[in-house]
Structure 1
Amino acid sequence: MYNITVSEDIKKACPTFKGAAVFAEVTNTAYCEGLWQEIAEFTRELRTRETTDSIKYQPVIAATREAYRCCGKDPSRYRPSAEALRRRLLRGMELYRIDTLVDLINLVSLRTGHSIGGFDADKIEGTALELGIGRADEPFEGIGRGVLNIEGLPVYRDRTGGIGTPTSDNERTKMGLETRHILAIVNGYNGQEGLKEAAEMIQDLLIKYASSAGGTIQYFE
C-alpha cells in the first residue's frame, strides 16, 4: 500500500478532512453494459430530485467547495468533479464514456458527492503521496484539460509532482485499458461521514465490473 499523508497546510485549512484509498488489481475494458445501466438509473433519479442550483448544497459537495475557499480557490470557477458531473447530467447531457474504471469511479462520485481520484498505480512515482495545496505556476496537465492552474487547489503529489486534485487528475497517472492496478482516493472534506460507504462501493463495483477481488481499503487523515 501507499504511505498517504496530509500536509500541515491542509490540516490547518481543512481540519475535518479524512481520506480513504482503495488499492486493487483490476482488468479494464472499454465498455461495460451493466455499469452503464446503473449510471442510467442514477441519472433518472438525479433528474427527478435535483436542480443545477441545489447541487452545491449536497453536504459532501458543500464541504468540498468550502475547502476550496479555505485553500484559496473559487469553487464556482474550478468546480469539484462530483459537482461538475452532476451539473452535466442536470443540463441534459450524458456522461462521457471513457472506460470501465473511469466510468465506475464517476458513478461513485455521482452517488456520494465525494470527489475521487482514480490513478493507474503503476504510473505513480514511489510509494509515498502527500495531500498539499497547489502553488503558483506549479506544473499540472489535467486530463483532457491541458495545463491547469492548481494554485490554491488541494493536490496529491508523488515524488515527481502533482497527480490529482478534486477538479482534475493528471495525464501522467491516468488510467487506461492497460491499467492493471488502481489506486482510488476518496476525499472526505466533510470528515468520516459516508467515507467507508464510498470506499466499499468502489470495491463492490470493481468486483462486479473489473474482474477484481476488491483489493484493500486504507484510511488516512
Structure 2
Amino acid sequence: MKFELNSTLLNIVPTIKLGINHYTRITVSESPQMLQGRLRLFQEQLFFDLDDKLVTDYPEIKEWRKLWKQLGADPNRYRPSAEALLRRIKKQSYIDSYHTAVDLNNFFSLQHKIPIGIYDLELITGDVVASLGTENDGYAGLNGRFNSMKNIVHLSDDISSFGSPFVDSTRTSVTSSTTDALHVFYIPPSFDVKKSLELTTACGNMFTSMSGGDVRSYVVHEGQSSIVLDED
C-alpha cells in the first residue's frame, strides 16, 4: 500500500507534514485502569490549565486554524479535532474511556494539541491519498452525521474519503477486531521533519507498549511525498 501527499495540496501548503505509524499484530481491548486513569488525570490537568487561557492560545491550535483558513474552510464551523477535544475539556465535559486504540489516540491528540486519526487497515482498499477535499468528498462520520470534506485535508482510498483532521469515518474505524492499523498525525506545518518523526515515533512506541505488535514510523512531506507500507 502506498500513502501519498497530493501535489495540489503540497503546492498550496509546501510545509504540510503527516506522521504515519503503521501497526501490525496489535491487540485492541478495553483500556487498563492505568491508561484510563492517566487519560482522566491529564484531562483534569488541562481543565485547570484552561482556566485562565483560551483553547486558541495553544500555538499548535493556532497553526491548524490558520491552515484551515488558508485552505478555504471555516475553523469556527469545522473545528480541527484537537481543538474540539480541548473545548470539551474546558467545559469539564471529559472524554470517557472507549478502548486502547481510541484512548491512546485521544491522549496523544491532547498531549500534542494536534489532530490525529487511527484507521483499520483491513478496511482500507488500495492506496491512500491525502488531498484537499472538494464538494464531492465526504462520509458518514463518528460524530453521527454526514460530513463534507470541501476545503478540508482528507484521506481517501479506492472507495471514498475516510479520514481527516476534522472527524473520521465510521467505515474505517478501529474495533476490538483490528490487528493492523494506520495512525495518521496531522503535524503543525512549522515542525521540521526531524521533530515530526520524533513525535510520531514516540507515540508509536507508547502505542505498541500498550497494544503489543510492531510499528514502523514515517513522515510524508515535500521532500518525500509518498511512502510504501510494508504489508509483510
Do the two structures share a fold, i.e. TM-score over 0.5?
yes
* Corresponding position of 2:177: 178
Unaligned ranges ≥5, structure 2:
222-232
Structure 1 residues 52, 5: closer, same or farther in 2, change over 3 A? farther
Seen in structure 2, the aligned counterparts of structure 1 residues 150 and 91 have a Cα distance that, compared at 3 Å, is: same
- Asked if residue 13 in structure 1 is aligned to residue 29 in structure 2, the reply is no
Distance 1:73 1:85 in 2: 19
1:207 maps to amino acid: T
Say yes or no: does 1:207 pair with 2:208: yes
Q: Which moved more, 1:197-206 or 1:36-45?
A: 197-206
- Structure 1 counterpart of 2:196: 195
Q: How far apart, in 2, do the equivalents of 1:83 and 1:201 lie?
A: 22
Residue 190 (structure 1) shift: 2.2
SS of corresponding position for 1:171: coil
TM-score, normalised on structure 1? 0.91
Give secondary structure in 2 for the equivalent of 1:218.
strand
**Cα distance, 1:42 vs. partner?**
1.3
May I ask how many residue pairs the two structures share in their alignment?
218
Match for residue 118 of structure 1? 118
Alpha-carbon RMSD = 1.8
Deviation string, structure 1 residues 21-47 (Cα, Å, up to 9, x no partner): 001121000232111122122112212
Superposed counterparts of 1:61-100, under 5 Å:
61-100=61-100
| Contact 2:143–2:167 under 8 Å retained in 1 | no
Partner deviation per Cα, 1:130-151 (whole Å, 9 max, x = no partner): 1111111423111132211211
Distance 1:15 1:77 in 2: 25
Q: Render the CA deviation track for 1:123-170: whole Å, top value 9, x for unaligned.
A: 1111x2111111114231111322112111110111111111101111
**Where does structure 1 lack aligned partners over 5 or more consecutive residues?**
none
Shift of 1:51: 4.5
**Percent identity over paired residues:** 22
The corresponding residue for 1:168 is: 167
Q: Compute the displacement of 1:52 (Å).
A: 8.6
Counterpart residue type for residue 187 of structure 2 = G
The secondary structure found in structure 1 opposite 2:101 is helix
1:105 and 2:105 matched: yes
Residue identity opposite 1:65 in structure 2: R
Tell me which amino acid in the other structure corresponds to 2:56. K
Residue 106 of structure 2 aligns with an amino acid whose one-letter code is N
